[in-house]
Amino acid sequence: MKMRALALTGAALLATLPLTVGTAGAAAKCPKGNVCGWSQPNFGGRAYSIISPTSGCNGFDGDARSVSNQNRHRVTLYSDSGCYGKHFDLTFGHYSAKTPWPVKSIAVWGP
């Protein structure tokens, strides 16, 4: 009985972790050096790629509902174009399989 309670507690704890933990699957879908987005959650739908994005604000060609950062810099993802609105950060090698809102632009931090 204790083992089942421990397993349930562990499952509940895992459910609270953020969706920005990197995996090999997300990295494989986005080439090294790029920041990628998809029009649907779980890397589905139309794919968008910002190839070797420069520092500063960059825009996607469409709204991204899942994203992967394979660029070597931290990026901030925004709900509005021009790097405004709600935002969250992704460090190198991390992804979000389901963003809280459509991502319209990103800011790349670093040279």
Domains of the chain by residue range: 20-108
Percent of the chain clearing pLDDT 90 (strictly above): 59
Query: What is the greatest pairwise CA distance in the chain?
Result: 55
pLDDT at residue 96 is higher than 50? yes
Question: Where does 12-102 show beta strands of DSSP type E?
Answer: 35-40, 44-50, 56-64, 66-69, 75-80, 84-90, 95-96
d(CA 68, CA 110): 18
Structural tokens at position 57: 């604000």
pLDDT of residue 110: 81
Could you please state the CATH topology (level 3) that the domain comprising 20-108 is classified under.
Gamma-B Crystallin; domain 1 (2.60.20)
- pTM, 2 dp: 0.73
- When mean pLDDT is compared across 47-51, 66-70, 83-87, the lowest value belongs to 47-51
* 3-class SS shares of the chain: helix, strand, coil, % to 5: 20, 40, 35
Q: What are phi and psi of 67, to 5 degrees?
A: -140, 155
Give the pLDDT mean for 88-110: 93
Q: Whole-number mean pLDDT of the chain?
A: 80
Indicate the range of 27-31, 47-51, 98-102 predicted with least confidence.
27-31
pLDDT at 25: 61
Give the DSSP letter of residue 13: H
Rounded CA-CA distance 17/33 in Å is: 26
